[in-house]
């Protein structure tokens, strides 16, 4: 299983989702490998800090650059679930990760500038499907405002994603300080014991499990 996380806009929480999803899947009993294909190497630094902690379960992580498809496929053939963090721009790493992915997740803030990039991402996905026709792509609304008055804004964002052929998952990741605080400490929301954030990540994991049932 290969899950690629990427997009065309920085700051939407791609590395945060990759890290927390890796922990969630590992806690659920899967063998997980986190691939950091972002030149910033945020996830690789997080995994190293986590490994040095010694009090939390480490996450296997490798940093890769360029065309990562062959190396990633070789790792996936060992039975591991790969989560590829590709960062927030169009790169050789992102394109090569999309053509081998089973599922692509595109974290997107419910903001006009972020939503505008979905047109470009949709084009990338369609080009990838020329090689990888079974690729499943979904938007994850992230860093969403939690005020009740902003519910319509979230719904409107999901409708925009659907217009670009990138349906949004039902679960939403809300803007919470714990995501940044946990990442800076080499932790996930599970070790931070933030109940609301844990529920959000577990909901993403469960939605992902439903998508996996669609894979041929």
Give the separation between CA 99 and CA 177, rounded to whole angstroms. Answer: 34
| pTM of this prediction exceeds 0.85 | yes
CB 86 within 8 A of CB 95: no
Q: CB within 8 A of 24, min separation 6: which ones?
A: 188, 190, 201, 202, 204, 205
Q: Enter the DSSP assignment of 63.
A: E
pLDDT digits (tens, 9 = 90+) for 13-29: 899 999 999 999 999 99
pLDDT digits (tens, 9 = 90+) for 174-206: 999 999 999 999 999 999 999 999 999 999 999
Give, to the nearest 10 degrees, the angle between helix 177-184 and helix 14-27. 80
- Give the position of tokens 């999803």: 21
pLDDT digits (tens, 9 = 90+) for 34-78: 999 998 899 999 999 999 988 899 999 999 999 999 999 999 999
């Amino acid at each position: 299983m290969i899950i690629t996380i990427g997009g065309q806009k920085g700051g939407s929480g791609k590395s945060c989702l990759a890290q927390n999803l890796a922990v969630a899947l590992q806690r659920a009993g899967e063998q997980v490998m986190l691939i950091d294909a972002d030149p910033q190497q945020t996830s690789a630094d997080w995994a190293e800090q986590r490994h040095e902690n010694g009090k939390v379960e480490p996450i296997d992580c490798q940093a890769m650059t360029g065309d990562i498809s062959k190396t990633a496929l070789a790792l996936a053939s060992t039975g591991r679930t790969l989560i590829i963090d590709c960062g927030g721009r169009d790169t050789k790493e992102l394109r090569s990760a999309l053509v081998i992915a089973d599922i692509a997740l595109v974290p997107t803030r419910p903001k006009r500038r972020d939503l505008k990039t979905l047109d470009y991402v949709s084009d990338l996905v369609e080009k990838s499907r020329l090689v990888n026709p079974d690729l499943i792509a979904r938007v994850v609304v992230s860093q969403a405002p939690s005020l009740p008055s902003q519910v319509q804004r979230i719904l409107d964002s999901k409708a925009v994603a659907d217009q670009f052929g990138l349906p949004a998952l039902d679960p939403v990741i809300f803007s919470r300080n714990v995501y940044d605080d946990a990442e800076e400490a080499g932790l996930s929301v599970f070790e931070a014991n933030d109940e609301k954030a844990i529920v959000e990540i577990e909901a993403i994991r469960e939605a992902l499990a439903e998508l996996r049932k669609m894979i041929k």
